[in-house]
Amino acid sequence: MTDRHFTDADAELTRRIGIINGHDDFPIIMAKQRFDGVYDSLRTYWLPQFRAGGVSAVVGAIFTPSVYVPEGALRHALWVLDGLLTEIEENRDAIEIAGSAAELRRINDAGKIAVLVALEGAEPLGQDLAALRLLHRLGLRMVSLTHARRTLFADGNWENETHGGLSRAGRAAIKEMNRLGIIVDVSHGSDRTTRDILETSVKPVIASHSNARALQDNLRNVTDEMIRAIAAAGGLVGMVAVPNFVARGDPTIGRWADHVEHVVEISGIDHVGIGTDFFHYGWQLGAAPGIAESDAGPRQGYVRSEFTGMQSPADLPGLTAELRSRGFSEAALRKVYRENFLRVLSAVADGTPA
């Protein structure tokens, strides 16, 4: 944890609300820890981090490094998922997999942390949707069809200049995800892919970890037009704590909060969430060499993934402190941190109106 940028009261309020973090790469980092012979990091590191930061539920994302594409994508995803499910089972007194909003609430009511499984990039699905249905049975509840690169299903933000979007396979995948109750995530999609998904899905969609492009011109961020369309579909935009998506130069918690306020101004308070995408600890452990791509092409050494006061789940009360200083009430924070995501999950996985 960095030097605290919050008070005990901020931390207590954050824990009382219970943040639902819509995007965290911790399953990938756990996989690296297990590869290195550490088989209890969920208990010794991650659970304390989540509790300290007031995280009541977290979407655990599984992405596919380029070295595994295409033949090893499913094998890699299953290896990561197996490690995650194994450690969750070993700590079932403290954490469980959630498959619906009702299950998430039950888990939280029991004093436990809930985990939803996500695919960040659909490469593990191969050439058809059988793997999608099987992974759904193992807890999969969110999918982004691309992680920057072009896939069978859609073009990612790397391909934005080609103006490609959903393929026929991608449209079939959206239809099946709607049927199964899997949230469609547009983060990492090209602009055309994002528009195509919003036109195709009959359920709310989210941008799980994207900021406002009007404040930081990065293709990983969403335009005001996209924000309005996501809101009109009943979805949300999850604010991401990655420096390049927050601001040029010197990102701060305050400049991150600017994105929260901008999306609230554009879409209303009901369509904003949190999706931190923390990876600083992964870099420290050497998990990053398994990532063969970034949003600007192949990575050349360390890519900054933290900023002052915000590098891990335990730092999240710092955002609470900043938003409170701007007049956000506890009721407003509950929407941003928890209730908006629960509404989307309920609409998609539980079948209730958005």
pLDDT in tens, 56-80: 999 999 998 878 888 899 999 999 9
Q: What is the DSSP string of 85-147?
A: HHHHHHTTTTEEE--SHHHHHHHHHTT-EEEEEEEESSGGGTTSSHHHHHHHHTTEEEEES-S
pLDDT digits 0-9 by tens, 37-46 = 999 999 999 9
- Of 186, 91, 187, 176, nearest in space to 140 by CA: 176
pLDDT digits 0-9 by tens, 250-298 = 999 999 999 999 999 999 999 999 999 998 888 888 786 554 444 445 4
Indicate yes or no: pTM above 0.85. yes
pLDDT at 303: 58
What is the average pLDDT across 224-238? 98
pLDDT at 75: 95
- Of 154, 148, 118, 93, nearest in space to 28 by CA: 118
What 3-state DSSP class applies to 150?
A: coil
Q: Per-residue confidence at 25, pLDDT binned at 50, 70, 90? A: very high
pLDDT at 186: 97
Q: Which residues contact 316 (CB under 8 A, 6 or more apart)?
A: 14, 19, 21, 53, 54, 55, 274, 276, 310
Half-sphere exposure of 305 (CA within 13 A, CB side): 19
pLDDT at 217: 96
Q: Which residues contact 153 (CB under 8 A, 6 or more apart)?
A: 122, 125, 145, 146, 166, 167, 169, 170, 173
pLDDT at 288: 60
Q: What are phi and psi of 282, to 5 degrees?
A: -60, -40
27: its two tokens:
């399953």
